[in-house]
Amino acid sequence: MANLKYSYMTNMWGLMVRYPVANQWGEWYEGDFGNSVYYLDWDRILRYHVGAGFKGIELMFHMLPYVNEYFGSPKAFAEFAKERGIEQVTGTFSLALGSEDRANHPAVLAMNQKMIDFTAELGGENINIMPASGYFGHGPLSKEQLRNAADCFNEIGRRALDKGITACIHSEFWCAVNKYDLERFIEMTDPKYAAFVLDTAQVSIMGFDPVAMYDKYHERIKYFHLKDTNIIDAPDEKRFAAGAEFNDEGDRWFWELGGGQVDFPGLWKLLKKYKHKGWVAVETDGTPDPLATLVLSKAYIDTKLAPIYS
């Protein structure tokens, strides 16, 4: 049995996949004759994942109301996915915007409690959380603000653990917890309640070496968001700009595995060394073609990485 199982974060398809099932192909194709019809429904998109060999998926925080509205419940969505070959909705992504201010903690905790419950009902294992506000307008954080954010994360993590879910710090390159205080933040949080998800592109853009980071923090790193990038150690003014995630020129931050400069073979050697087991996720938001990126990423895993460790 394989040590690693592959999940895929579904945020690259758009903010909201429009339909559970697109009932009539002709409605969308006839007259338009384009390829958009292939991107309109969960039925097809889930089957692409399975066809490419990804048996897990992750959902964004904005899927919570969608799932309840269109599927009735998280459990019903998980069943819908299972019928199409998805073994598990492995986890979700959430935010702790404003956690650097204690006055915001009740609202941040309430929002994340909803996400914890949502993740549990989906059958997920992980919840990856941006730990504070965006840098623009909020950073840099003072030591006290960092402490506030860490305390908030610990409480979210404690609540998550109550439901059997691992809360993981997700380090956006545009977050107020950034290059100069990310490691301090990791140390300020309680290892019992706050794991770290190694997002290989996000940390590379901030100037960290993801392989060295895994070597250093392998006991805290319980999960992975694998994505590639060609922008290593981006200057502060790019990362700290307003709306930095979608920059004004439309440049692409994130690439399919093998499309950038991240040393994935080096990471895989460490996965083998530390005997990592379980789900690992690919996340490639911002690709112009989710279907191509999905397949290219899996081909890279199968041909370049699996021979090292699988």
Partner 1 sequence: MRIATSLETVELKSSGPSKLRLLSKGYWLEFFQWVAAAGFTAVELPYNAFVNDPLAFEIGRCGVPISLAAVNVKYGSPKGLRKMLADFGIADVTGVHVQAGDALAEIMATDGDTARYFGLLESAGREAIGFLADLGATDLVLSPTPARGLVERFFAGGRDGWEAGFLDLTAAVVNKLAREAKAKGVRVAVRDEFWSLLRGDARDAFLAKLDKDVLYSPDLSHLAIAGADPVAVMKKHKARLASVRFNDTKFTDAVGNWRTSHPEIPTQGAQRVFCDLGDGTVDLRGSYRALQDAKYDGWAVFDSRMTLDVPRALLRMRWRIDHSIAAKA
Between 124 and 286, name the residue whose CB sits nearer to partner 1: 286
Between 22 and 203, name the residue whose CB sits nearer to partner 1: 22
Residue 240-279 contact track with partner 1, rule CB under 8 A, x = bound: --xx-xxxxxx-----------------------------
C-alpha 146/C-alpha 35 separation (Å) is 46
Other CB atoms within 10 Å distance of the CB of residue 177: 31
Between 20 and 53, name the residue whose CB sits nearer to partner 1: 20
Q: How far is the CB of 136 from partner 1 (least distance, A)?
A: 8
32 binds partner 1 (CB under 8 A): yes
Size of the site for partner 1 (CB under 8 A): 50
211 binds partner 1 (CB under 8 A): no
Single residue of 48, 54, 61, 264 touching partner 1 by CB under 8 A: 61
Q: What is the dihedral of CA 58, 64, 67, 69, to 10 degrees?
A: -170
With contacts defined by CB under 8 A, name the span among 119-127, 193-201, 269-277, 286-294 that binds partner 1. 286-294
With contacts defined by CB under 8 A, name the span among 147-155, 239-247, 259-267, 270-278 that binds partner 1. 239-247
At 195, list the tokens. Answer: 């794991």
Single residue of 19, 143, 164, 307 touching partner 1 by CB under 8 A: 19
| 135 and 205 Cβ atoms separated by less than 8 Å | no
Residues near 254 by beta carbon (within 8 Å), at least 6 away in sequence: 201, 227, 228, 229, 283, 284, 285, 286, 287
| 96 and 131 Cβ atoms separated by less than 8 Å | yes
At 265, list the tokens. Answer: 């073979």
With contacts defined by CB under 8 A, name the span among 29-37, 202-210, 266-274, 302-310 that binds partner 1. 29-37
192 binds partner 1 (CB under 8 A): no
Between 44 and 218, name the residue whose CB sits nearer to partner 1: 44
With contacts defined by CB under 8 A, name the span among 7-15, 144-152, 161-169, 269-277 that binds partner 1. 7-15
Residue in the structure block whose two tokens are 């905790």: 109
Single residue of 3, 51, 62, 79 touching partner 1 by CB under 8 A: 62
C-alpha 292/C-alpha 119 separation (Å) is 28
C-alpha 187/C-alpha 122 separation (Å) is 30
65 binds partner 1 (CB under 8 A): yes
- Secondary structure (DSSP) of 266-285: HHHHHHHHTT--EEEEE--T
| Closest listed residue to residue 121, CA positions, set 76, 84, 158, 159 | 76
Single residue of 13, 77, 208, 255 touching partner 1 by CB under 8 A: 13
Burial-class residue 136 by CB neighbours within 10 Å (0-12, 13-18, 19+): middle
C-alpha 224/C-alpha 280 separation (Å) is 5
| 267 and 214 Cβ atoms separated by less than 8 Å | yes
Single residue of 9, 45, 59, 141 touching partner 1 by CB under 8 A: 45
Between 154 and 247, name the residue whose CB sits nearer to partner 1: 247
Binding residues vs partner 1 (CB under 8 A)? 11-24, 27-28, 31-32, 34-37, 39-40, 45, 60-62, 64-65, 69-70, 107, 110-111, 134, 136, 242-243, 245-250, 285-286, 288-290
